[in-house]
Amino acid sequence: MVNGARFHGSVTDATGLEDDDLVVETCITRTLPPALTLEHGLQSITQAVEELKFNPPCASSGVLRFQVAVPPSAKALNWFCSQPESSAVFPMFFLSKETISPTCKSLYLNKVRGVFGIGAAISFTNSICIPGGLSSTKRFLSNDSVLMSTYGFLDINFNTDLSSVKHKAGSFYFFIPLIELDEHEDISILAATLAWSDSCLCTFEQAIHSYESVLYQATSHFWPTTERCHSERVRAAIRKLNVVEDNTVQMAYTNGILLGRRDFEAHTMELLDHASEMAYTIQDRANINAVWASLIVEECFRLGLTYFCVAPGSRSSPLALAASAHPLVTCISCFDERSLAFHAIGYARGSQKAAVIITTSGTAVSNLFPAVVEASEDFVPLLVLSADRPPELQDCGANQSINQVNHFGSFIRFFFSLPPPTDQIPARMVLTTLDSAVHWATSSPIGPVHINCPFREPLDDCPQNWKSSCLEGLDTWRSNTEPFTKYIIVQHSYLCNTATRGQMEEVLEKIRRVNKGLLVVGAISAEDEVWAVLLMAKYLQWPVVADILSGIRLRELLSSSPEVEENILFVDYLDHALLSDSVRDLVQCDVIVQIGSRITSNRISQMLEKCFPCSYILVDNHPHRHDPSHFVTHRIQSSTIEFANILMKAQIPHRSRKWHYYLQALNMMVGQEISFHLSVEHSLSEPYIAHVISEALSAESALFIGNSMVIRDADMYGCNWTSDNHSVADMMLKTELPCTGILVAGNRGASGIDGLLSTAIGFAVGCNKRVLCVVGDISFLHDTNGLAILKQRMLRKPMTILVINNRGGAIFSLLPVADRTDPRVLNQYFYTSHNISIHRLCEAHGVKHLEVKTKMELHEALISSQKGDTDCIIEVESSIDSNATFHSYIRKFACRAAEHALGVISKLSPPESMSQGCHCKIQSISYSVYRIQLCAPPTSSALYHDRTVFYREGFILSLTLEDGSIGKQVAPLEISQENLLDVEEQLRFLFHVMKGVTINYFLPMLKSSFSSWIWKTLGIPVCSLFPSVRCGLEMAILNAIAMSHGSSLLNILYPLRERNEEKSENLASIRICALIDSSGTPEEVARIAVDLVEEGFTAIKIKVARRADPVEDAAVIQEVRKKVGCHIDLRVDANRNWTYEQAIKFGFLVKDYNLQYIEEPVQHESDIIRYCEESGLPVALDETIDNCPENPLNMLVKYNHHQIVALGSTILFLHGFLGTNEEWVPIMHAISGSARCISVDLPGHGATKIKNCGDDKAALRSLLSIEIIADLLLKLIEHVTPDEVTLVGYSMGARIALYMALKFSDKIEGAVILSGSPGLEDAVARKIRRAKDDSKARSIVTHGLQLFLNTWYSGGLWKSLRSHPYFNHIVVRRSVHDDLQGLAKVLSGLSPGRQPSLWEDLKHCKVPLMLVVGEKDEKFKRVAQKMWHEIGHDRDDAVSKLHQMVVVPSCGHAVHLENPLPIIRLVRQFMTSLRSVKLQEKGNVRDLLIYNQ
């Protein structure tokens, strides 16, 4: 057993290697669809390898990797421990990922994640790569995927024949396993790697044979998913391997073998920490009590029960002493038996293993009763060992003696009262009793068991003679590590049981014939079952109603594509939608499948009951009747995984999705209404807390929810979340699943509020995650003794406890009793109001405490607590009355939203003739220009003192659907720094990308889902669209949808407006604001204001600060207020035109005229707060927010004047590797009004083919050098135009563009370099890059483009692109190339390792350059910064002044694909600056076209 370290760096120095000696293999990875179980994953890989055998690769060498996502629960350690002691397979290892004080006990205690590897696909030792065996060939592995790791040892000489390790500086032994299971927090990856090389004496056939041998052993000694994990496997493995600890050797792992410097940064991890073999010398026990107690503890350990909760007491001393003395069990204690018992329940929930509770006699046993009830009702395994007085002290008044026989009645699965320890009874009776009890506890129905253990004195280790004859028959037991009695359950296969198969076929037939199906997911306690539910939901494509305890109500969203997201519809806000009577009538299902027994929401339970009669299928792994409404028609006793396996093998047709879209629209509208009111409420409410707790969650987290109001709020208002980091699950599941689940637990067996804190702490120990616990104040106070357990912090990660303190039981305020009961009675007998200081309680127990009163404080506390390494209690202040009021408020608006949604649905029901259901296509889109003369200057711009005629210019947008069209004005808004040219470029781009896209008929009702539609359907970050363009686009779509239904937009959005009462109510509640200018006399402005009020306007905004003296503006305000009265809202807008002194002067004059606010009163942002404080007037911000650095539009303003455009320029667009000229077409369409745009397919790409003139590879490479490509493009330019051109290049195209700009400055006017580089300066780095690219080029020809693309885009450079909704489409487009041989030659010939370094040339650059990178592309941002420094941008010459560097927001390396709109504007502005400078040099400015706003 040795330490492990994360290896960052390379093990080989390539300086002395010649190019012919440096051979690099590229690992090609194929990702298979996610598997239901680990066994299914093995079958999937086996099938893929079998297909490969029938179609073997043609190359003489190569590396292939097959990987599949499997359920996330920890299995690697069990798999490793199941392998045989004698094996021909080398190596085998388990690498634990436990980083916080790992010990041997942690292997037995909870879920330890790690890596299991078996066999070596490739071995590396001292610059030698050995596929399958040792050789002297110098080959290296290049791997761009972050999912593939290499394992091994540094500074040692490893003799594989003798299995000996010798220290030798500079030596190493690394290998890539043939089969590997790598466990992450939210997903596990099963992988198989095949490597072959004829020159290394390992052919492809031999590689297959090695893989099959390893596969046979791995699968023949496999721990099945359905078999419960027991610690005896771990202990037996450590024992049989004769493990020795060696602190001088360190195991390392890294992502592939890299070339270059030899250095690494160690992050210590553990490889199976040392474990001394326990030699239990029973004969040495002091007395017979100690013998029996030791046997009980040891047998518990062998049965997998390694966590002992020990309550103090005298009569239980033998058991407590035996447990504390055992070297491999973990003991925890607490003075409160009730808290300790609930702690044991929490551990069992988290670990899926029973905990052992040891108590003394008397009422100590009775204190366990609430926990035993909870365990019984919620099927939690538990072993109670209660000490007792012997029979002679029963029923005779002996101290601390009660009747403990069948003490817990029907709430336990098994009871046995042992006799007092004696050597007259064979000791094996104790062992068989334990074996039987644990079998009952862990067999369906799982639950608590009780063994009563009477002890006579002595209770300590006082010596007392006893006969060893009682140990007869235990020799075999003492010589091994297995339980005395092994219970074997023979599972009857579903396929072999004719009766069961027939009954299941009936169920499957009902599912096949479903019209409106609903999948209801109740409480799920295991991560693998959450995984199974997600796969099942994807397969069924039914709407999903998920309970808060299901693990998928608060799910982590992945950056999946829109088509993947459409496969699963989560109806998260059905509870509040059911407040509407109309919704309750609408939601009628004919087949309901429920996974898990309990549902938190009462309204959903009532809705399900109302669906009866229907086919109601309940799936749970216990036999109990959980059917309070008595409507279950099919009760399936099965695990979720077993049921999912049967269901997913059946052919289930997908019916009409109209029902699906109805629920989607209803859910989204109600959800958005709830989210809106939660966010706009300034105070910190309890529903808001439930809404944002997901902010504190991550893949490493688990959630424990308390009872009463807390769990109901979480169920109603909880929301899903997105991780800031692109997780492994995000990479593996992007094309398969839209989300992953999270482990959630709660005590819902009896749903009491006792013991919740202790349960949560035990849950943290068992699940081995960072736990967030949310409870109410009464629940917290009910279990304050749990703080004593919290303080012990044994073998668990830090946890956060969020206490919602409303000084009582808030749930009663929402029940009918609150409406009909005197407040004094409510406070005393229902709320149980209190003034107890939670802070003082935490202080007394030495626990960190944070008090939260605002939303901001809550966010900060949640984030800081999750990053800390100590336990933390966050107390949130609340109020019972305000909480009840806000809940009522939310319910009212949610009900209105549901009613409104149904009204819109009725208006937007798609025509029956539409073949695409609820979707329609955009057939065409066009625009025309308008120009209208105004009688006064626009109020949103400054005064034009030199003009007498004013115009409003804009566009009429026409969007045509399959059956109609509508027009909508698109006008530039000066306050957003737009102009006609900006808007027209974006419109041109949109017209190209929008042709043929689909629109959901329900889009008008989904509010902010327009932003989602723009991003997911068009692939455009919403922030990059100009406000006027977005407004026009949305209104055109809305009106087109309304026209297609023969209605108006107003009728669609407000279907109930015909009712005059509601119309009047709505109009009265809306403040309609008029905007007027103050340029006239006070009387004239006041007259205009009065006319507007009479027209129905209830608010007026007046433009001020356009006169020389603010006194004149103040006179206007005073007159307007006098004329319109006090009931009209009066606002003013100064547009930042006043100095601080002028604004103060105005404010003093109008402070008594009830201004609602003054907008942007001062010129300088630094004066805003001072102005508020001195004037006392409310201030509104507009331009200040627009000018915030986070706004991408304002970041682009710093470039050249947007009113000047150059005509007649030519732009040549150059794509990157794997791209084609087609990827530039949308951008070219947008810019075509300003310049002549040309794009070409570079050699080997698209339809361009390279003529093969021979077999000489060296000659081919020379023909495809960057110099030759640049010469070819130069000839093309000379053929197209005699003038200079501007180059726009991306990635490989950017390197070509930069080369041409530096070498052909007389022909290149300027160059826009997108994610480009001048090449590599270091000779060794260039050598390595050449070898890598040559290897990748070979893999294109050998394995085909599709497999190559999967590997290419798994690299870290494409992390941002993988999250783009168009990612799948981009990859598909890049798989269409006519000349794979040519493509491979381009990759090799244009490698950065072969092109000349241009860093020195940059210092003498004569052509203006614009360097553009994405903000998420850290690597190329560093390159661009260095280029920016080298080109001398600060020199005082004309060219240097034109150099620009821009970081484009919301994108990564593929900047022109991820966020194209800023690129359009940047290119046009760059062109304008080039042309303007050139014309100024010639003294000719007449060719400039000036656009006036």
Q: Sign of the CA dihedral 182, 184, 190, 195?
A: negative
Asked if the model's pLDDT at residue 632 lies above 90, the reply is yes
Predicted local distance difference test score (pLDDT) of residue 629: 87
Mean pLDDT for 337-365 is 96
Asked if the model's pLDDT at residue 1189 lies above 60, the reply is no
SS3 23: strand
Burial of 1225 (C-beta count, 10 Å sphere; 0-12/13-18/19+): middle
Structural tokens at position 1035? 């209104």
User: Element (H or E) spanning 1209, and its range?
Assistant: strand 1209-1214
Q: Give the strand pairing for 770-776 and 965-970.
A: unpaired
Asked if the model's pLDDT at residue 1349 lies above 70, the reply is yes
Are the C-beta atoms of 301 and 280 separated by less than 8 Å?
Answer: no
Phi/psi for 1396 (5° steps) reads -65, 145
CA dist., res. 775 & res. 783, Å (int): 11
Q: In sequence order, what are the residues at sequence separation of 6 or more whose Cβ sits closer than 8 angstroms to the Cβ of residue 432?
A: 484, 485
Asked if the model's pLDDT at residue 226 lies above 60, the reply is no
Q: Report DSSP letters for 692-709, one per residue.
A: HGGGG--TTEEEEE-STH
Mean pLDDT for 916-929 is 76
Predicted local distance difference test score (pLDDT) of residue 1203: 28
Predicted local distance difference test score (pLDDT) of residue 993: 87
* Of 110, 109, 79, 82, residue with least CA distance to 95: 79
Secondary structure letter of residue 1328 according to DSSP: H
Phi/psi for 1463 (5° steps) reads -65, -40
Asked if the model's pLDDT at residue 1392 lies above 70, the reply is yes
Q: Give the strand pairing for 965-970 and 872-877.
A: unpaired
Q: Which band of pLDDT confidence, cut at 50, 70 and 90, is reported for residue 1069?
A: very low
Q: Which band of pLDDT confidence, cut at 50, 70 and 90, is reported for residue 618?
A: very high
For 422-434, write each residue's pLDDT tens digit.
999 999 999 999 9
SS3 222: coil
Predicted local distance difference test score (pLDDT) of residue 496: 59
Asked if the model's pLDDT at residue 261 lies above 90, the reply is no
Predicted local distance difference test score (pLDDT) of residue 368: 97
Secondary structure letter of residue 1374 according to DSSP: T
* Of 1270, 1291, 1208, 1215, residue with least CA distance to 1396: 1270
Structural tokens at position 1398? 């241009």
Predicted local distance difference test score (pLDDT) of residue 103: 66
Predicted local distance difference test score (pLDDT) of residue 236: 64
Predicted local distance difference test score (pLDDT) of residue 111: 75
For 1238-1273, write each residue's pLDDT tens digit.
999 999 898 887 776 555 444 444 468 899 999 999
Are the C-beta atoms of 1003 and 1009 separated by less than 8 Å?
Answer: yes
Q: Counting every residue, how long is the chain?
A: 1493
Q: In sequence order, what are the residues at sequence separation of 6 or more whose Cβ sits closer than 8 angstroms to the Cβ of residue 977?
A: 1193, 1194, 1197, 1202
| Strand spans (E) along 418-477 | 448-454
Q: Which band of pLDDT confidence, cut at 50, 70 and 90, is reported for residue 1379?
A: confident
Phi/psi for 542 (5° steps) reads -95, 155
Backbone Cα Rg of the chain: 37
For 143-166, write each residue's pLDDT tens digit.
565 567 888 877 777 766 665 667
User: Element (H or E) spanning 81, and its range?
Assistant: helix 76-81
Can you tell me which residue has the tokens 């303080």? 791
Are the C-beta atoms of 174 and 152 separated by less than 8 Å?
Answer: yes
Q: What is the overall mean pLDDT for the chain? A: 83
For 359-400, write each residue's pLDDT tens digit.
999 999 999 999 999 999 999 999 999 999 999 998 898 888
Predicted local distance difference test score (pLDDT) of residue 133: 47
What's at 299, amino acid-wise? E
* Segment among 323-337, 420-434, 655-669 with least mean pLDDT: 655-669
Can you tell me which residue has the tokens 């693998």? 528
* Of 1395, 1330, 1322, residue with least CA distance to 18: 1330
Predicted local distance difference test score (pLDDT) of residue 260: 32
Distance linking the first and last C-alpha atoms of the chain: 76
Q: In terms of pLDDT, which residue wins out, 61 or 109?
A: 61
Burial of 1126 (C-beta count, 10 Å sphere; 0-12/13-18/19+): exposed
Are the C-beta atoms of 337 and 367 separated by less than 8 Å?
Answer: yes
For 1276-1312, write each residue's pLDDT tens digit.
998 888 889 999 999 999 999 999 999 999 999 999 9
Structural tokens at position 363? 């009422």
CA dist., res. 1382 & res. 1450, Å (int): 34
Are the C-beta atoms of 709 and 681 separated by less than 8 Å?
Answer: no
CA dist., res. 1460 & res. 1462, Å (int): 6
Q: In terms of pLDDT, which residue wins out, 959 or 352?
A: 352
Predicted local distance difference test score (pLDDT) of residue 1487: 36
SS3 152: strand
- Provide the CA 244 distance to its chain's centre, in angstroms: 41
Q: Do you find a cis peptide bond into 391, omega within 30 degrees of 0?
A: no
Cα 338 to Cα 365, 370, 415, 662, 767: the distances in Å are 9, 7, 20, 49, 21
Are the C-beta atoms of 619 and 634 separated by less than 8 Å?
Answer: no
* Segment among 448-457, 694-703, 758-767 with least mean pLDDT: 694-703
For 525-553, write each residue's pLDDT tens digit.
899 999 999 999 999 999 999 999 999 99
CA dist., res. 1208 & res. 10, Å (int): 52
| Strand spans (E) along 845-902 | 848-852, 872-877
Kindly state the percentage of the chain with pLDDT values over 90. 43
In three-state form (DSSP H/G/I as H, E/B as E, the rest C), the secondary structure along 354-405 is: CEEEEECCCHHHHCCHHHHHHHHHCCCCEEEEEEECCHHHCCCCCCCCCCCC
SS3 1475: helix
For 164-219, write each residue's pLDDT tens digit.
667 777 777 788 899 999 998 889 999 999 988 877 668 889 999 999 999 999 88
Q: In sequence order, what are the residues at sequence separation of 6 or more whose Cβ sits closer than 8 angstroms to the Cβ of residue 1353?
A: 1361, 1362, 1367, 1371
- Provide the CA 554 distance to its chain's centre, in angstroms: 11
Q: In sequence order, what are the residues at sequence separation of 6 or more whose Cβ sits closer than 8 angstroms to the Cβ of residue 1148?
A: 1175
For 465-497, write each residue's pLDDT tens digit.
999 889 999 989 988 888 999 998 876 555 556
Strand partners, 253: 6, 151
Predicted local distance difference test score (pLDDT) of residue 160: 62
Asked if the model's pLDDT at residue 269 lies above 60, the reply is no
For 1462-1476, write each residue's pLDDT tens digit.
999 999 889 888 877
Predicted local distance difference test score (pLDDT) of residue 232: 60
For 966-1011, write each residue's pLDDT tens digit.
666 666 766 666 788 888 888 889 888 888 888 877 665 555 567 8
Predicted local distance difference test score (pLDDT) of residue 1060: 41
Of 797-801, 963-967, 1473-1477, highest mean pLDDT: 797-801
Predicted local distance difference test score (pLDDT) of residue 1271: 92
Asked if the model's pLDDT at residue 76 lies above 60, the reply is yes
Predicted local distance difference test score (pLDDT) of residue 1201: 30
SS3 1397: coil
Burial of 730 (C-beta count, 10 Å sphere; 0-12/13-18/19+): buried
* Of 1418, 1447, 1214, residue with least CA distance to 1308: 1214
* Segment among 930-934, 1313-1317, 1367-1371 with least mean pLDDT: 930-934
CA dist., res. 64 & res. 27, Å (int): 6
For 831-886, write each residue's pLDDT tens digit.
888 999 999 999 999 999 999 999 999 999 998 888 888 999 999 999 888 889 99
